[in-house]
Copies of this chain bind each other. A is one copy, B any other.
């Protein structure tokens, strides 16, 4: 027996979502057919509303439902420090730490020549326009510490240094609460290399 068409279509659509394998997609499809129509309608509306109402902040390119995102609109943030992150979810992670009072710039990706992603595909030009327009004292590079993230940070540092703005990179080392015994070699080497005098 083939799957009936509406079911096969739904399965195909769910299957395309990241981290949803064929078994999960099938379970979700059966779950959806089993729920009341009002509930399915709510989910469908939430999907469309998110896509239609969410746009990028015109200043920092964070997700926003207005012209400016919540952070760029706030008066209590230090507008002279910009933290550069890869994605809006990285910005949210930084905010959860409650340790940062500056503003952000979301690149929406990282340099990845193998995937054909160069500087023009990221919000890099927009970052330099911001630096020209406003008085910025420091740029903190908070891209991930994988190969692409490091390359992107190095690339930005190289461009930023001649402008005379202080450029910094977030620290990498042993996570707080982490055991030395279980730390991987690269992290441990980095923690040693970046040791601070106390």
Name A's B-contacting residues (CB within 8 A): 1-7, 9-10, 12-14, 16-19, 24, 26-33, 35, 37, 40-54, 63-65, 69-71, 87-89, 91-92, 95
Contacts and interface: CB of A to CB of B under 8 A. Distances in A.
Contacts of A51: 32-33, 35, 37, 40-41
B17 A31 contact: yes
Given A28-B17, A28-B18, A47 B43 contact: yes
Given A30-B88, A31-B17, A6 B53 contact: yes
By secondary structure, the A interface counts as helix
Copies of the protein in its oligomer: 2
A190 to B, nearest CB: 26
Given A50-B32, A87-B30, A92-B1, A7 B63 contact: yes
Nearest to A37: B51
28 contacts: A1-B91, A2-B70, A3-B92, A4-B65, A4-B70, A5-B53, A5-B65, A6-B50, A6-B53, A6-B65, A9-B50, A10-B46, A13-B42, A17-B28, A17-B31, A18-B28, A19-B24, A30-B88, A30-B89, A32-B50, A33-B50, A33-B51, A35-B51, A40-B47, A40-B48, A40-B50, A44-B48, A47-B47
A14 B12 CA distance: 17
A7 B92 CA distance: 12
